[in-house]
Amino acid sequence: MTPRKTLEERTKELQLLLANPADRKELQELASRYDAASGKAKPLRTSVITYILVNERERRLISG
């Protein structure tokens, strides 16, 4: 089992993905998968990074 990433590590990792359009699409797809899994849509004023981080913390995929 791989160790969980810290909140800071995961935030930086997601922020780096914003630099490339293909990676941005990957972020949107990940958020869409979390939408489907939770049955809730991302709030309109919430950034995709914040939404992903909240979902990953709820699932205990990251620590911090």
pLDDT tens sequence across 18-58:
989 999 999 999 999 999 998 888 899 999 999 999 999 99
Q: Is 59 helix (H, G, I), strand (E, B) or coil?
A: coil
Band of pLDDT at residue 61, cut at 50, 70 and 90: very high
Band of pLDDT at residue 1, cut at 50, 70 and 90: low
End-to-end CA distance of the chain: 18
- pLDDT higher than 90, residue 7: yes
* Prediction pTM value: 0.88
**In the chain, where the domains are located:** 19-63
CB neighbours of residue 62 within 10 Å: 20
